[in-house]
Amino acid sequence: MKISVRVFGRYKDIAAIDHIIFDIKEGGTIQDIIDAFVKRYPFTEIDKNRMMVSKNKIYISHDTPVQNGDEVTLCPPVVSGG
């Protein structure tokens, strides 16, 4: 299935676009999308376990399944400096 993923922050700069289509196998999860994103943009490997990912505007864990038509966003991790 094809999932359209909207990217934010520096991911948008890295990808040079704000929407990316990923081809994910049926029954796939957010983790499959992250893996595909990191494979395409290896600079993001450092964020792999900490990316903020939303599905249909709700931030969810990386093992959450995705389905056709889901609106997924990838955002760099929460920043913590003060």
Partner 1 sequence: MTIDRYRRQTLVKEFGLKGQEILATKQAVVIGGGGLGSHCASLLVRMGIGSIDIVDNDSVDITNLHRTAVFSESDIGKSKALILQEKLHAVNTIVRVKGINQKVTSENIDSLIKKADVIVDGTDNIALRHLINQASVKNHVPWVYAGVYETVGMVMGIIPGKTPCFQCIAQTIPASSPGEIPVLGSLPAAIASIQCNETLKLLLGKPLTGLIIYDVWKQCFEIIDIQKNPQCPMCGGKKT
Which residues sit at the interface with partner 1, rule CB under 8 A? Answer: 8-10, 12-13, 49-54, 57-62, 73, 75-82
Using CB atoms within 10 Å of the CB of residue 48, give its burial: 0 to 12 exposed, 13 to 18 middle, 19+ buried.
middle
Q: How far apart are CB 20 and partner 1 at their closest, in Å?
A: 16
Shorter beta-carbon distance to partner 1: residue 1 or 6: 6
Residue (10 or 39) nearer to partner 1, CB: 10
Nearest-approach distance from CB 8 to partner 1, in angstroms: 5
Beta bridge mates, 4: 21
Q: Which residues fall within 8 angstroms of residue 68, CB to CB, at 6 or more apart? A: 1, 2, 3
N- to C-terminal Cα separation, the chain: 41
Shortest distance in whole angstroms from residue 64 CB to partner 1:
9
